[in-house]
Amino acid sequence: MEIQQTATPPSALQHHYSDIEQQHDSAKFGMWLFLVTEILFFGGLFCAYAIYRSWYPEMFHNAHKVLSVPMGALNTVVLIVSSLTMALSIRSVQLNKSKQALGYLIATFGFAAVFMVVKYFEYSHKFHVGQLPGKFYFYDGIAGANPHQFFSIYFAMTGLHGAHILIGMIVMIFIMIKLAKGAYSPQNYAYIENFGLYWHLVDMFWIFLFPLLYLIG
Amino acid sequence: MSTQNNKAHEEFHPHVLPISAYLGVFSALIFFTIITVVVAAIDLGPFNMVVAMLIAGTKALLVGLIFMHLLFDRKLYLMLFLVGMITLTIFIVITMFDTERRGDIFPEVGKPIKVESEHYQAPIEELRAKHGGHSEHGAEEGHGEAESHGDNAGTMDADDHGEEEHESAGIDTGHEKQNSSNGGH
């Protein structure tokens, strides 16, 4: 114990862990538990999607055509690129290149912002023409029963996903500040790595949302 | 305790992947995105769904195994991830056993509720015309009529392909709890 604590920077290892690896694994285990709850959190909405799609297949088919595939595809690519830069940012921290990591993280933040801007244009168009959830729906041009149901599900799923992107962007700002201060080292990078796990999971949700909502409705 | 004994003098070395691994996964993800957009434009009937989900699953697997390091980390994390996925699958499948088969045994159970809600005013007129204008209050129908009405409602949920008349009746499905006891007589 005593040897360990002197061997690593005193700030990195908390006193209740026996070594830095145990500390790292504990943080990661906790993060994965949280990610499982996130899977189930989104899972309820995927379940709602499956039920309503099987109840109103033709309405879903007609409704999905009003979504813009180019915009959805653009957002998919943007998120995949942001996932790549996130992974590379963590890799740079592992190699003790904090400056490089900060650059990659800023890029990730930028792509997240692009995603939200594209989403904003999609949303504002839908608000304008009345493709809205539930009783707010006033669009006239989708054949089949209950088209407002499709947009309830669309806004719930993309809205929850967008909220995750926004929260991710806020957390990224804190990580940027810490990176700029050089707070992370190859011995101590669980925080940024766990954020990366979160970011990849949010990307993973979009990988499913894009075909389900935009492509096959 | 074993960790302490075994690794007391070892340093913690992060597992670093070569940059080519990340770029390779990235290229594959972009490639699959293009494929899924192209395939979705071709009409394969129900197989559109199968193909899209297979591609999305492959992409998610790539992200999970490489970007999230599940392939190289402790298998505990992979197990946790799979437990989440399997739980979700069970949840969705069992829910759909219910929602897909409502009204199969007792037609009354598959009957929609909220027929009178504001949002459905226009389609409701069609529904009334079709059923002879008797469905003022769905729950208070006579037994004979309720049976036939229930049959139609049951099919509306389970297999409504091409039944525009029924579909445009457009109703949030669900149950009248009291009705389910009626159905069994």
Neighbours of A47 (CB within 10 A): 18
Partner-chain residue, chosen from B59, B88, B173, that has the shortest CB–CB distance to A207: B59
Asked if pLDDT for residue B174 goes beyond 50, the answer is: no
- Chain A nearest-CA residue for B154: A55
Chain A residue nearest residue B8, CA to CA = A4
In angstroms, what separates the C-alpha of A114 from chain B's closest C-alpha? 17
Q: How many domains does chain B have?
A: 2
What's the burial of A67, exposed, middle or buried (CB within 10 Å: 0-12/13-18/19+)?
A: buried
B168 to chain A nearest CA, in Å?
A: 5
Tell me: the pLDDT tens digits for A55-88?
Answer: 888 889 889 989 999 999 999 999 999 999 999 9
pLDDT value at residue B125: 52
Helix (H) or strand (E) holding B53: helix B47-62
Label residue B162 by pLDDT band (50, 70, 90): very low
Q: Confidence class of residue B163 from pLDDT cuts 50, 70 and 90?
A: very low
Residues B178 and B113 in one domain: yes
In a domain, B37, yes or no: yes
- Looking at the domain covering A17-215, what would its CATH class be? mainly alpha
B72 and B23 belong to one structural domain: yes
Structural domain includes residue B34: yes
Q: Give pLDDT, residue B123.
A: 53
Residue B63 and residue A29: Cα distance in Å, rounded?
18
Q: What is the pLDDT of residue B105?
A: 76
B115 and B176 co-located in one domain: yes
pLDDT at B128 over 90: no
Identify the residue with better confidence: A195 or B148: A195
Which range of residues forms the domain containing residue B164?
107-183
Give B130's pLDDT tier (boundaries 50, 70, 90): low
On whether residue B1 sits in a domain, the answer given is no
Using an 8 Å CB-CB cutoff, list chain A residues near B36. 210-211, 215
The answer to the question of residue B172 being in a domain is yes
Nearest C-alpha of chain B: how many angstroms from A63?
14
Nearest residue to A187 (alpha-carbon basis) of A11, A1, A56, A46 = A11
pLDDT at position B56 over 70:
yes
Secondary structure in 3-state letters for A34-97: HHHHHHHHHHHHHHHHHHHHHHCHHHHHHHHCCCCHHHHHHHHHHHHHHHHHHHHHHHHHHCCC
Residue A158 has pLDDT above 80, yes or no: yes
Q: What is the pLDDT of residues B57-78, one digit of tens each?
A: 999 999 999 999 999 999 999 9
